[in-house]
């Protein structure tokens, strides 16, 4: 595909941006009493209110045209039929298959029914989870398992951790699930202090079984296990793996039946729906894991079949492009007003930034536009007392997604009503702002002198007209959490398709890995570093001096 800037709709949007420049959102609401109703769409238990955007009917029609002209319809068909849309690795992209296996019999890709493989793995997970929870699975001294430590990083950590946390109210009693990711020894040391080797199972999650952090932590866990009572022959009772590299997992000491398969058609950041989600299934049970998959499948079906004008991932993806490419927005914030979803921005950050942090078109040419934004965020209301100041009065435009359940799992006092009120007030304040006249009147009403009013009022002006989406659901359940994450996965794909990039490879992380190994070798040897830049040389010297 050539640059999206050459598309007719892109050029029309460039001109349309000028038309829209003097119009603010408040006046769009005033001009159209149906606006809130019209700019609301629903899917898979979620309602998207996208009325608080710098967009009118023409904007939305042009954005839909852009998605169509960029080939989104055939890209979606390609994904769902198993075409090799990950062109640099010549792979299908089939996280959608991981959640379709209960609803559909077969999906033949490259001659294989991938749904049969998915179902077989789910059965294997069912057995493992049931054995752990029933107490049938015993540790090396015959005791039942009380703790599971999941070791993985990137997509083999973030998705499962975030979903397990999001589903805290659904946790089953008896087994506590912990997560370790960082190669910083403090991470695993802290977790090992909480558990007993006799009653702990480690799940090593690594698609490649070749990731430095995961292998180092897995080795540390095995060393801890054998130096605290376990023996080498007991390792198979206490270690399981999720990996596409069975040989390496067996070499580590895993029993073959405790190795759960992965496929090259699942990208790391899209893998929580596979056996990489095993820690989630252990934490909340297979019934809830199936409900999670089903929720995501509902969103998949919506994405696959709904007209673009009503399609949540398409609407959100296209509006994102509108701000990134036509309003120069550099970042996008996700603010869940739900304590259990507080870590979700970190997962969507990996999902989106590893997918769309690209500077080449599918054909290898350099892009001429900005691509993926910086994704960030955190839980409301905490952020209101931290970074929301910049959202309201800073010089940068930051589109925001507010995410909230209508009912809480912990309905104490007025907490949930207050939480929800804060969520709504933030999107309202971002849009409405405060004029100089309002600020002056406010100060006068509070008894300020004319001099004080003149001095303070300009600082209280909030320009407003800042866009946001609001996503509402009845309650955070396994199904709605699954649908929510699937929504962001597809939103990422929509944007990647409009930009004409491959959202499913991640070559950029490789250089850091290679250089990391090189520097490690220099830190542990007397190598000649004179060819390195002076800064790196000095930093190596500082480290070696501290170790001496
Ligand atoms: O599951 P693995 O192979 O250990 O990879 C972990 C993560 O590393 C990455 O390849 C990036 O470094 C991610 O895409 C992936 O989720």
Residue 161 CA to ligand 1 centre (angstroms):
15
**What is the count of structural domains for the chain?**
3
Both 273 and 347 in one domain: the answer is no
Q: Which of 213, 354, 440, 489 is catalytic?
A: 354
CA 209–ligand 1 middle distance (angstroms): 9
Taking the centre of ligand 1 as the mean of its atom positions, its distance from the CA of residue 377, in whole angstroms, is 22
Q: What is the pLDDT of residue 90?
A: 97
Average pLDDT over the chain, rounded to an integer: 97
Distance 527 CA to ligand 1 centre (A): 30
Q: Judge whether 453 lies within some domain.
A: no
Alpha carbons 239 and 209: distance in angstroms, whole number: 14
Tell me, yes or no, if 332 is annotated catalytic.
no
CA–centroid distance, 84 to ligand 1, in Å, is: 20
Residue 1 pLDDT:
63
Residue 450 lies inside a defined structural domain of this protein: no
Q: Is the residue at 447 inside a domain?
A: no
Q: What pairing do the DSSP bridges indicate for beta strands 400-405 and 468-473?
A: parallel
Q: Which two tokens stand for residue 179?
A: 């997560």
Give pLDDT, residue 513: 83
DSSP element (H, E) containing 459: helix 450-460
The CATH number that applies at residue 323 is 3.40.50.10490
Q: How far is CA 511 from the centre of its chain?
A: 23
Q: What is the pLDDT of residues 325-346, one digit of tens each?
A: 999 999 999 999 999 999 999 9
486 and 533 fall within a common domain: no
- The pLDDT value given to residue 165: 98
Would you say residue 223 lies in a domain?
A: yes
Q: Are 292 and 479 contacting, i.e. CB atoms less than 8 angstroms apart?
A: yes
Is the residue at 84 inside a domain?
Answer: no
Range of the domain at 193: 102-287
- pLDDT (0 to 100) of residue 199: 98
Q: Are residues 227 and 352 in the same domain?
A: no
Which of these is catalytic: 123, 415, 463, 513?
A: 513
Instruction: Enumerate residues lining ligand 1, CB below 6 A.
Output: 153-156, 206-208, 211, 214, 268-269, 354, 506, 509
Same domain, yes or no: 277 and 130: yes
Same domain, 476 and 537: no
Sign of CA dihedral 259, 260, 261, 265: negative
Domain boundary among 231, 253, 287: 287
Known catalytic residue at 193: no
Report ipTM for this prediction. 0.97
209 and 118 together in one domain: yes
Confidence grade of residue 137 (pLDDT, cut at 50, 70, 90): very high
Query: If DSSP codes are grouped into helix, strand and coil, which group holds residue 148?
Result: strand
Question: What mean pLDDT comes out for the span 266-284?
Answer: 98
* Across 5-13, average pLDDT: 97
pLDDT on residue 2: 83
From ligand 1's centre to the CA of 206, what distance in Å? 7
Does a structural domain hold residue 515?
A: yes
Q: Are 217 and 180 in contact (CB under 8 A)?
A: yes
For 267, phi and psi rounded to 5 degrees? -75, 150
- What pLDDT, in 10s, does the model give residues 184-241? 999 999 999 999 999 999 999 999 998 999 999 999 999 999 999 999 999 999 999 9
Residue 505 has pLDDT above 70, yes or no: yes
Return d(Cα 124, Cα 126) in angstroms, integer.
Answer: 5
Q: Is 513 among the catalytic positions?
A: yes
* Position 446 in a domain: no
Q: Are residues 229 and 256 in the same domain?
A: yes
Q: Are residues 382 and 528 in the same domain?
A: no
Ligand 1 site-directed mutation target among 93, 155, 515, most atoms within 8 Å of CB: 155
Check pLDDT > 80 for residue 25. Answer: yes
DSSP state, residue 462: B
Query: Same structural domain for residues 214 and 178?
Result: yes
496, 366: one domain: yes
Which residue's alpha carbon is at the smallest distance from atom 4 of ligand 1?
A: 206
Assigned domain for 432 exists: no
Which atom of ligand 1 lies at the shortest distance from residue 269's CA? 16
User: 150, 156, 159, 514: which to mutate for ligand 1, most atoms within 8 A of CB?
Assistant: 156
486 with 541, same domain: the answer is no
pLDDT, residue 22, reads 95
Q: 428-482: per-residue pLDDT in tens?
A: 999 999 999 999 999 999 999 999 999 999 999 999 999 999 999 999 999 999 9
Please check whether residues 153 and 205 belong to one and the same domain. Answer: yes
Strands of 188-246, DSSP E: 200-205, 239-243
Q: Which residue, by CA, sits nearest to atom 9 of ligand 1?
A: 154
Closest CA to 8 of 94, 90, 80, 68: 68
Q: Which residues pair with 241 in a beta bridge?
A: 204, 259
* 531-542 mean pLDDT: 96
Q: Over 90: is that where the pLDDT of 514 sits?
A: no
pLDDT for 161 beyond 90 = yes
Which of the following is catalytic: 256, 385, 459, 545?
385
């Amino acid at each position: 595909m050539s640059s999206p800037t050459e598309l007719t709709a892109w050029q029309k949007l460039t001109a349309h941006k000028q038309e829209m420049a003097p119009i603010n959102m408040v006046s769009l609401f005033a001009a159209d009493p149906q606006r809130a109703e019209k700019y609301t769409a629903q899917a898979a238990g979620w309602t998207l209110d996208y009325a608080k955007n710098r967009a009118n009917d023409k904007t939305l029609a042009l954005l839909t045209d852009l998605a169509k002209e960029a080939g989104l319809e055939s890209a979606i068909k390609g994904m769902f039929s198993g075409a090799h849309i990950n062109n640099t690795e010549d792979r299908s992209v089939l996280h959608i298959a991981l959640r379709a296996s209960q609803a559909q019999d077969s999906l033949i890709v490259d001659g294989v029914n991938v749904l049969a493989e998915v179902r077989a793995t789910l059965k294997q997970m069912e057995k493992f989870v049931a054995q752990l929870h029933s107490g049938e699975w015993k540790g090396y001294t015959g005791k039942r398992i009380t703790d599971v430590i999941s070791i993985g990083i990137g997509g083999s950590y973030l998705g499962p951790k975030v979903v397990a946390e999001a589903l805290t109210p659904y946790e089953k009693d008896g087994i506590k699930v912990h997560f370790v990711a960082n190669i910083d020894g403090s991470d695993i040391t802290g977790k090992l202090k909480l558990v007993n080797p006799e009653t702990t199972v480690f799940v090593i999650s690594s698609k490649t079984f070749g990731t430095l952090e995961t292998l180092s932590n897995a080795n540390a866990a095995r060393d801890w296990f054998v130096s605290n009572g376990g023996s080498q022959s007991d390792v198979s009772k206490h270690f399981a793996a999720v990996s596409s590299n069975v040989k390496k997992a067996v070499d580590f000491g895993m029993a073959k039946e405790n190795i759960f398969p992965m496929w090259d058609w699942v990208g790391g950041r899209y893998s929580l729906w596979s056996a990489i989600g095993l820690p989630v299934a252990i934490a909340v049970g297979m019934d809830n894991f199936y409900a999670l998959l089903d929720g995501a499948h509902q969103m998949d079906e919506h994405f696959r079949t709904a007209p673009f004008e009503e399609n949540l991932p398409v609407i959100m993806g296209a509006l994102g492009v509108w701000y990134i490419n036509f309003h120069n927005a550099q970042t996008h914030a996700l603010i869940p007003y739900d304590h259990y979803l507080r870590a979700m921005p970190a997962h969507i950050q990996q999902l989106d930034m590893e997918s769309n942090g690209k500077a080449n078109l599918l054909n290898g040419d350099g892009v001429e536009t900005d691509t993926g934004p910086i994704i960030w965020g955190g839980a409301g209301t905490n952020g209101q007392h931290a970074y929301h100041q910049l959202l309201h009065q800073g010089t940068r435009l930051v589109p925001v997604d507010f995410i909230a359940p209508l009912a809480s799992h912990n309905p104490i006092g007025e907490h949930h009503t207050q939480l929800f009120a804060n969520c709504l007030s933030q999107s309202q304040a971002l849009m409405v702002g405060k004029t100089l006249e309002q600020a002056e009147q406010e100060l006068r009403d509070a008894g300020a002198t004319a001099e004080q009013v003149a001095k303070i009022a300009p600082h209280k002006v909030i320009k407003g007209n800042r866009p946001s989406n609001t996503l509402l659901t009845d309650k955070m359940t396994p199904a709605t959490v699954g649908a929510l994450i699937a929504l962001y996965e597809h939103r990422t794909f929509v944007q990647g398709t409009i930009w004409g990039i491959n959202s499913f490879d991640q070559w950029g992380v490789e250089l850091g890995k290679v250089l990391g190994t090189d520097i490690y070798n220099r830190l542990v040897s007397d190598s000649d570093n004179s060819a390195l830049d002076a800064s790196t040389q000095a930093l190596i010297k500082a480290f070696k001096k501290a170790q001496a």
